[in-house]
Amino acid sequence: MSFVERYGPWAIIAGASEGTGRAFARQLAAQGLNCILIARRQAPLEALAATLRADYGVDIVTASIDLARPDAFERIAAAAGDREIGLYISNAGADSNGSFFLDKDIQSWVDLVNRNILTALRCCHYFGGPMRARGHGGILLVGSGACYGSGPNLATYSGAKAFDLCFAEGLWAELAPAGVDVLYLAMSTTDTPALRALLAEKGVPPPANLASPEDVARLGLERLPHGPVQNWGLRDDEAGFGTSSAAQRRARVNMIAEASKSVFGGKKA
């Protein structure tokens, strides 16, 4: 199957207006996918949409939606309408708080959980069902090395990223037999406007060797068929900050799939 046949005709990028989300949108449009671009600010979405239409001749829809709001999923589904969604990318997910848990209003953390977990969960269910029925498609959850362990200022963020990691692994095991690809892309520090804004607020200079959003998006799309995990800057068999490499995690998911048949039976997708 060609890329468009496998992941098209429409992709949704949740958090598309800048950084890695923008890079995903550009690379997908360059490959001929129509895109639904979602973020809170409409103006940068519209500007990106105009560029992508002009450069690549694809159809682009924009939708100003706050992914942290309880009605986010319904609004995404409405924006998608009856378009065939072959790829769902959950990109928005950074923590702009950078604070100790108790030093922020609880609503900040609830918003983070809504955006990173609940909205993504609902979208994976809604768009994943038709992908499974069609026998192809892709789900890419943009994650972080913070999924492997937490620390001060990271409690809720790491917790949410760890949820997404395990969720993606299970989903990969369930959907791979049906031809649907699932990938958790564990990023490292990347030169995005959101990171720059956080560093500026904290008075911290940007670290050296920030990854480029274009490289990160390219890696994510290349590795989408080779889930469930890709760690930025590491080969499949390297563990880095994680206690296990991507290859070891894949082997563990497969081992759990076999072992759990004694509980769940051998249901195939």
The full DSSP string for 117-141 is: IIIHHHHHHHHHHHHHHHT-EEEEE
CA distance 152 to 226: 33
Closest approach of Cβ 126 to ligand NAP, in Å?
17
Report the amino acid identity of residue 198: L
* Minimum CB distance to ligand NAP smaller for 9 or for 98: 98
Site residues, ligand NAP (CB under 6 A): 15-21, 39-41, 65-68, 91-94, 115, 142, 144, 187, 189-190, 192, 194-195
Residue 92 C-beta-side C-alpha neighbours within 13 Å: 26
Query: Cα(126)–Cα(221) distance, rounded to whole angstroms?
Result: 21
Closest contact distance (angstroms) between CB of 218 and ligand NAP is: 14
Q: Is the CB of 34 or the CB of 156 nearer to ligand NAP? A: 156
Which candidate, 190, 180, 250, 245, places its Cα nearest to that of 217?
190
Distance CA 167, CA 183 (A): 10
Cα–Cα dist 177/51, whole Å: 37
Task: Please state the closest distance from residue 77 (CB atom) to ligand NAP, in A.
Answer: 15
The answer to whether the CB of 249 falls within 8 A of the CB of 183 is no
85's enclosing H/E stretch is strand 85-90
Nearest distance from C-beta of residue 88 to ligand NAP, angstroms: 14
Annotation marks residue 161 as catalytic:
yes
| Residue whose CB is less far from ligand NAP, 151 or 266 | 151
Residue 189 or 257 with smaller CB distance to ligand NAP: 189
Q: How far is the CB of 39 from ligand NAP (least distance, A)?
A: 3
126 is catalytic: no
| C-beta closer to ligand NAP: residue 66 or 236 | 66
> Of the residues 7, 88, 148, 157, which is catalytic?
157
Identify the H or E element spanning 43.
helix 42-56
Q: What are phi and psi of 167, to 5 degrees?
A: -60, -45
Catalytic residue set: 157, 161
